[in-house]
């Protein structure tokens, strides 16, 4: 499954090699005319469109495959390449690389950037290509691990047989991810955010199309015993979706004049230096992958548990992608610039700006998702997932994950802030330790619960891990920069969010809508009133963060 984060763009500018003037050109005084906030807003708009269409993908998958063991098998198998990529390479191809390439692009040294990117791509293609081949050979062993929590041996055997076939289709996604995420890191370093954020639309189109074809072949309630044609449709659909997802940033880079081509450079000093720095970043991403992997395996004990968790995780990631990710993605180059200028006070203010922006934008959504999880899932559940049990499972996972939305965003922002300082070790250690706590919580909780309670507690484990991680990173960074980092808007935003969420829950209880149309109208009305009240509270209490303009690199 394509990781939900990532059109051709205008040709590369002639006046500023490697920099898109519509995004990052400097004004006469050396400052950029577009603020970080506006860049985040542009990315947010693109991400919102992508997430809205991506919602169709998860809804269609759940509707066609259902909250069933078939759905569990597809989701677990298609998620595995994402988990492996997170474990081994995602950290090295994300925030650690952005500051390094920002420096090269600010010097207009695209030739060195191309050389360095090609060397990194070559290394990762060898690593991930080898793992792909090994995974395909040992697919039955991997399938056995994915279904290890299933109690019924007959169901487990059927799942293992199907998962073995699907894994051999899905594992080549690892190689595609290497291209896609390196291209995204390069575009972010060029301060291009909006177009890459729209990339998941391609994945959505392909996945939805494959599900329509599968339904035409298999019909409703397909079960685990599929024909070869049905297996091929599911397998090809997942990987072709990732191909469409990856093609957008790669083509965008090429149209900007940047050639991303692998080269053999295992002994290149620059490549080795970045890989050494990235080693800790890989470990940091290992934490997130461990949490997701544990939830997928443990959720398999509940029929439809993996599907419910994946749907809920998408709903969780949607506001993160639209609201939180644009904030810290847009501010990352500015943090690198402040560090390059030796301006730690400005760096500290940029971090606090990001945390304030997260508090104001993410907290109300987190509270609303928790309070309105049941009517929201009742509205989104179609087809095989449209049952009281299916709605209950998806609502439980959504509510528990929503509790940690702001902690997840804060952790990712603070990790990027450490990377800008050249420190990938601290967030890596914190991530692994807190993920271990979260996984331990999941294991213990699943041993003493069943059904809906298990799915809910898996989300709580995710929340606990990122809460602890954000606290640890924030405390450590505060000691380093000696600037106040605690967001001034956090406490008032939390109080207002909880009050509005409680009012929204009460309003939905009073309205007690009947049917899908009733749910839609009631949610729309409650949401509109809540948004208006929130906007009024932000203005009245002065919670909106000040604009943070881009700063130029000061020549040494």
Among the candidates 487, 510, 538, a domain finishes at: 487
For residues 512 and 382, membership in a common domain is answered with no
Q: By the 8 A CB rule, do 409 and 435 touch?
A: no
Give the pLDDT of residue 389. Answer: 87
Give the pLDDT of residue 211. Answer: 94
Dist CA 543 CA 552 (whole Å): 28
67 versus 326: which is more confidently predicted? 67
Among the candidates 487, 506, 522, a domain finishes at: 487
In angstroms, how far is the first alpha carbon of the chain from the final one? 45
Percent of residues, the chain, with pLDDT higher than 90: 34
For residues 501 and 361, membership in a common domain is answered with no
Does 15 fall in a domain? Answer: no
For residues 108 and 219, membership in a common domain is answered with yes
336 versus 49: which is more confidently predicted? 336
Does 28 fall in a domain? Answer: no
Q: By the 8 A CB rule, do 445 and 457 touch?
A: yes
Confidence grade of residue 556 (pLDDT, cut at 50, 70, 90): very low
Residue 468 to residues 206, 364, 403: CA-CA distances in angstroms? Answer: 38, 21, 13
Confidence grade of residue 207 (pLDDT, cut at 50, 70, 90): very high
For residues 528 and 431, membership in a common domain is answered with no
Location of structure tokens 């290394």: 123
Predicted confidence (pLDDT) at residue 433 exceeds the cutoff of 90 = yes
Dist CA 497 CA 324 (whole Å): 16
Does 7 fall in a domain? Answer: no
Does 121 fall in a domain? Answer: yes
Predicted confidence (pLDDT) at residue 4 exceeds the cutoff of 50 = no
Q: Collapse the DSSP code of 193 into the 3-class scheme (helix H, G, I; strand E, B; otherwise coil) and give the result.
A: coil
Give the pLDDT of residue 54. Answer: 72
For residues 105 and 56, membership in a common domain is answered with yes
Residue-averaged pLDDT of the chain: 82
Nearest CA-CA partner of 476 in 526, 422, 417, 528: 417
For residues 498 and 451, membership in a common domain is answered with no
Does 239 fall in a domain? Answer: yes
Q: Collapse the DSSP code of 226 into the 3-class scheme (helix H, G, I; strand E, B; otherwise coil) and give the result.
A: coil
Question: CB atoms < 10 A from the CB of 514, how many?
Answer: 9
Does 264 fall in a domain? Answer: yes
Least-confidence region, from 38-52, 294-308, 416-430, 447-461: 38-52
Q: By the 8 A CB rule, do 421 and 101 touch?
A: no
Nearest CA-CA partner of 294 in 452, 502, 145, 172: 145
Give the pLDDT of residue 111. Answer: 84
Give the pLDDT of residue 277. Answer: 67
55 versus 470: which is more confidently predicted? 470
Does 460 fall in a domain? Answer: yes
Give the pLDDT of residue 545. Answer: 64
Dist CA 492 CA 513 (whole Å): 31
Predicted confidence (pLDDT) at residue 7 exceeds the cutoff of 80 = no
For residues 94 and 107, membership in a common domain is answered with yes
pLDDT in tens, 111-155: 888 888 888 888 889 989 999 999 999 999 999 999 888 888 898
For residues 212 and 180, membership in a common domain is answered with yes
The DSSP 8-state label assigned to residue 450 in this structure reads: -
Least-confidence region, from 51-55, 227-231, 243-247: 51-55
Give the pLDDT of residue 518. Answer: 86
Dihedral sign computed on CA atoms, order 184, 189, 194, 195: negative
pLDDT in tens, 75-119: 999 989 988 887 776 655 555 677 778 878 878 777 888 888 888
pLDDT in tens, 314-357: 888 888 877 887 787 778 778 888 787 777 888 888 888 889 88
Percent of residues, the chain, with pLDDT higher than 70: 87
Give the pLDDT of residue 555. Answer: 46
Q: What is the mean pLDDT of residues 396-405?
A: 95
Confidence grade of residue 294 (pLDDT, cut at 50, 70, 90): very high
Q: 527 lies in which domain range?
A: 491-547
Predicted confidence (pLDDT) at residue 13 exceeds the cutoff of 50 = no
Whole-model pTM: value is 0.78
Write down how long the chain is: 556
For residues 457 and 543, membership in a common domain is answered with no
Q: What is the mean pLDDT of residues 195-222?
A: 88
Predicted confidence (pLDDT) at residue 246 exceeds the cutoff of 80 = yes
**What does the angle CA 480 – CA 486 – CA 490 come to, to the nearest 5 degrees?**
160
37 versus 233: which is more confidently predicted? 233
For residues 447 and 495, membership in a common domain is answered with no
Dist CA 394 CA 374 (whole Å): 8
Predicted confidence (pLDDT) at residue 298 exceeds the cutoff of 90 = yes
For residues 461 and 504, membership in a common domain is answered with no
Instruction: Please tell me the total count of domains within the chain.
Output: 2
Dist CA 177 CA 87 (whole Å): 13
Among the candidates 469, 487, 505, a domain finishes at: 487
Does 554 fall in a domain? Answer: no
The DSSP 8-state label assigned to residue 385 in this structure reads: G
For residues 450 and 525, membership in a common domain is answered with no
Q: By the 8 A CB rule, do 88 and 157 touch?
A: no
Nearest CA-CA partner of 177 in 73, 325, 280, 289: 289
Give the pLDDT of residue 37. Answer: 58
Dist CA 477 CA 411 (whole Å): 12
């Amino acid at each position: 499954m394509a990781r939900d984060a990532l059109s051709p763009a205008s040709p590369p500018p002639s006046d500023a090699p490697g920099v898109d003037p519509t995004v990052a050109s400097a004004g006469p005084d050396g400052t950029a005319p577009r603020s970080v906030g506006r860049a985040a807003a542009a990315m947010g708009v693109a991400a919102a469109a992508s997430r809205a269409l991506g919602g169709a993908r998860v809804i269609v998958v759940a509707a066609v495959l259902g909250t069933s063991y078939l759905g569990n098998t597809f989701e677990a198998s298609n998620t595995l390449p994402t988990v492996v990529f997170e474990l081994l390479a995602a950290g090295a191809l994300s925030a650690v690389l952005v500051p390094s390439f920002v420096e090269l692009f600010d010097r207009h040294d695209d030739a060195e950037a191309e050389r360095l990117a090609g060397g990194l791509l070559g290394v990762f293609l060898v690593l991930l290509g080898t793992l792909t081949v090994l995974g395909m050979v040992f697919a039955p062993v991997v399938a056995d691990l994915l279904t290890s929590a299933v109690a019924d041996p007959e169901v487990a055997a059927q799942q293992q047989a199907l998962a073995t076939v699907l894994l051999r289709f899905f594992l080549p996604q690892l190689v595609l991810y290497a291209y896609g995420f390196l291209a995204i890191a390069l575009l972010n370093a060029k301060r291009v955010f909006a177009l890459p954020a729209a990339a998941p639309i391609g994945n959505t189109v392909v996945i939805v199309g494959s599900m329509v074809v599968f339904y035409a072949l298999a019909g409703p309630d397909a079960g685990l015993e599929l024909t070869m044609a049905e297996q091929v449709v599911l397998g090809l659909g997942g990987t072709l979706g990732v191909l469409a997802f990856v093609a957008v940033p790669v083509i965008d880079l090429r149209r900007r004049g940047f050639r991303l081509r692998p080269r053999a450079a295992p002994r290149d000093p620059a490549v080795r230096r970045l890989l050494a720095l990235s080693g800790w970043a890989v470990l940091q991403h290992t934490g997130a992958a461990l949490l997701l992997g544990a939830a997928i395996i443990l959720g398999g004990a509940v029929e439809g548990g993996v599907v419910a968790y994946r749907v809920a995780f998408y709903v969780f990631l949607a506001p993160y992608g639209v609201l939180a990710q644009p904030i810290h993605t847009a501010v990352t180059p500015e943090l690198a610039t402040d560090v390059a200028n030796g301006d730690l006070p400005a760096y500290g203010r940029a971090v606090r700006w990001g945390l304030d922006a997260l508090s104001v934008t993410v907290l109300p959504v987190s509270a609303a998702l928790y309070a309105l999880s049941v009517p929201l899932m009742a509205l989104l559940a179609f087809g095989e997932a449209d049952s009281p049990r299916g709605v209950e499972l998806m609502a439980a996972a959504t509510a528990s994950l929503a509790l940690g939305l702001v902690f997840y965003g804060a952790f990712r922002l603070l990790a990027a802030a450490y990377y800008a300082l050249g420190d990938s070790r601290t967030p890596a250690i914190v991530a692994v330790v807190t993920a271990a706590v979260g996984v331990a919580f999941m294991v213990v909780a699943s041993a003493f619960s069943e059904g809906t309670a298990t799915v809910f507690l898996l989300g709580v484990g995710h929340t606990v891990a990122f809460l602890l991680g954000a606290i640890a990173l924030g405390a450590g960074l505060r000691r380093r920069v000696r600037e106040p980092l605690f967001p001034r808007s956090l406490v008032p935003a939390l109080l207002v969010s909880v009050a509005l969420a409680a009012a929204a829950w009460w309003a939905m209880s009073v309205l007690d809508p009947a049917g899908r149309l009733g749910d839609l109208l009631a949610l729309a009305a409650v949401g509109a009133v809540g948004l208006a009240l929130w906007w009024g509270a932000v203005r009245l209490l002065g919670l909106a963060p000040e604009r943070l303009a881009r700063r130029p690199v000061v020549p040494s």
